[in-house]
Structure 1
Amino acid sequence: MTLPTLLDIEASGFGRGSYPIEIGLARADGSSCAFLVQPLEEWTHWDPKAELLHGISRARLAREGLPVARVARWLNDELGEIGVAYSDSWGYDNTWLSLLFHHAGLLPAFRLEALRLLLDERQLALWHVTREALVEELGIHRHRAADDARLLQLTYLRTRELAAQQ
């Protein structure tokens, strides 16, 4: 079975003025990666509560973040051939991706879809408890983009296996 490609975004906060600060992927082969995004000068929104969750400071983004256009090109290179990636927070992630590509002056070569589209009712019923068990079992650090994307992928796989046994 081919695993779906999952995308996760950490952001400066939620709502108006927020922007992507880290984008992570879990690829079909099970590998994962993430890049920090260097905020543009006009991206000033910063929610200290969000920083407490993801642990990424503005100073670190300025130091280690990649330019918006470079991150957008990387996403197109990674996802263009596949054509689709999935997110568990489609509303937020799609908004942040649109913002990233708009400021990069590029169009995405892929579409982002809601992960829920891949799940049947049995998987949905098992989702939360399975995800929490995997966090515990694997010691996954939540709220970092690559780890969260991989966690989603592993939860998808395990709920599929458990649903098939029912």
Structure 2
Amino acid sequence: MSVIAIDFEASCLPRHGRSFPIEVGIAGEGGARSWVIRPHDDWAGWDWTAEAEALHGLSRDRVEREGLPADRVFEELENAVWGRRLIADSLIDQYWMTILAQAAGVRSAPKIDHIAAFFDELAASEEHITAAVARADALGVVRHRAAGDAIWLAAVIAHVSRAGREAPAPLLEAAQ
């Protein structure tokens, strides 16, 4: 099964209040894609923090103007990742996937595995993981945007996978 890296950006971290996804990005199999998510009516009154906005650089106004409806994002995302294994580097990404699925009227969200479980399955050494992180860091992708973070994670996954196992296809393009 092929692997897709996934990352969400959100209105805030849950420890700061009720958060909702504002961007999702995926990378792997030669490319990357991201979607800005317009806040769903169900999220009215949920929290937005200046700290989160400073980190990802997406203003609430921009997300409301440029974001796509949650149901469209979920449908396109689901089509893009169908039959592939999703991996994230944060456990909270499953929460945001579930929130997005609920807004889209879908009862169950695709499962997202954590990178630590993937590394354990591969019996990846700390040496290989450290080298993979250094290689991903050298890509110079924009971090804390969903596509950039997904590209970075996909590079880590590819490098660790190549350390003696079948590797996903290399990344060929970066999303903005």
Give your verdict on TM over 0.5.
yes
Matches within 5 A, 1:77-156: 77-80=79-82, 82-89=83-90, 91-108=91-108, 110-119=110-119, 120-128=122-130, 130-135=132-137, 137-156=138-157
Are the aligned partners of 2:97 and 2:110 in contact in 1 as well (CA < 8 Å)?
no
Partner of 1:138, secondary structure, is: coil
Using the size of structure 1 for normalisation, the TM-score is 0.84
Instruction: Supply the distance in 1 between the matched residues of 2:93 and 2:11 (Cα, whole angstroms).
Output: 12
* Equivalent position amino acid for 2:37 in 1: V
How far residue 158 of structure 1 moved from its aligned partner, in angstroms, is 2.0
How far residue 97 of structure 1 moved from its aligned partner, in angstroms, is 0.8
Partner of 1:140, secondary structure, is: coil
Provide, for residues 84-126 of structure 1, a one-character-per-residue CA deviation record: whole Å limited to 9, x for no partner: 311111x211111111111211145732111222214544454
Using the size of structure 2 for normalisation, the TM-score is 0.79
Q: Which runs of 4+ in 1 moved over 6 A?
A: none
Are the aligned partners of 1:85 and 1:111 in contact in 2 as well (CA < 8 Å)?
yes
Are the aligned partners of 2:97 and 2:109 in contact in 1 as well (CA < 8 Å)?
no
- Of 22, 44, 47, the residue aligned with 1:45 is 47
Instruction: Supply the distance in 2 between the matched residues of 1:17 and 1:144 (Cα, whole angstroms).
Output: 20
Q: Of Structure 1 and Structure 2, which has the larger fraction of its residues in helix?
A: 1
Matched, 1:60 2:73: no
Of stretches 61-70 and 125-134 in structure 1, the one that deviates more from structure 2 is 125-134
Instruction: Supply the distance in 2 between the matched residues of 1:32 and 1:108 (Cα, whole angstroms).
Output: 24
> Please, which runs of 5 or more residues in structure 2 have no aligned partner?
165-176
Report the RMSD for the aligned CA atoms in angstroms: 2.2
> Please, which runs of 5 or more residues in structure 1 have no aligned partner?
none
